[in-house]
Structures are given as C-alpha cells and as structure tokens.
Amino acid sequence: MEIWINPACSKCRSAISLLDAEGADYTVRRYLEDVPSEDEIRAVLERLGLEPWDITRTQEAVATELGLKEWARDAGTRDRWIAALASHPGLIQRPIITADDGTAVVGRTEDAVREALSR
C-alpha cells in the first residue's frame, strides 16, 4: 500500500496515524517532492474510478490562476486536467491511498482509510 501525502495536511497526518495504529504496511510518497507523472496520475485515477477533476483542489490559488473552474469536464479535456495536476501537484486531493488489491481511495475520512485497509 502507498499513501500520497503532504506532511502539512491534517487529513494526511490523521490517515498516517490510523494506518500506524492498525499496523499497516505502507510506503509514504510526499507527492509535492516526488511529483507523479501524467501516466502515474492516469493509473491512480483508474484505480480510484474517478476523473481528474474529481481529485482536483479547485480552491487553491493556482487553480484560480489557471481558471480550472471554467474548464470543461469531459473526455476531450481529460488530458489537459491530468497535465495540470502533474505540473501543479498541490492541486491533487490528498491523501490518496493505493490499496493492495489494485484499487485506491481518497483517504480524507477515517472510513475511507479503513476501507483501504480492508482491501
């Protein structure tokens, strides 16, 4: 299992605490430093069963600068969204936990983290 985190994020710290409390075997990826490639983002999206706009933090300043709220959310703009996430990893929702069964969850709640643990 791998967890993409920003150490400054309270939701990430909570997820790590729960994983530790449950004795989970996981790897931490500080995705702001070890930025995922476009292909890695595509793979995680597939595992999540989500689209790039579903994991985009649209309230961030860079999202406003890019005008993300006005971008279309369809197959024709999917690659543009993925490129934006790869170029500006701070836009990626966190934490993302890739489970051992090949799925993934956005672990913003205790229930979501427990879901990843159960897989």
Which residues are the active-site residues?
9
Q: What gap in Å lies between CA 36 and CA 111, rounded to an integer?
A: 25
Q: What gap in Å lies between CA 53 and CA 62, rounded to an integer?
A: 14
Q: What gap in Å lies between CA 44 and CA 38, rounded to an integer?
A: 10
- Of the candidates 19, 8, 16, the one whose C-alpha atom is nearest the C-alpha of residue 118 is 19
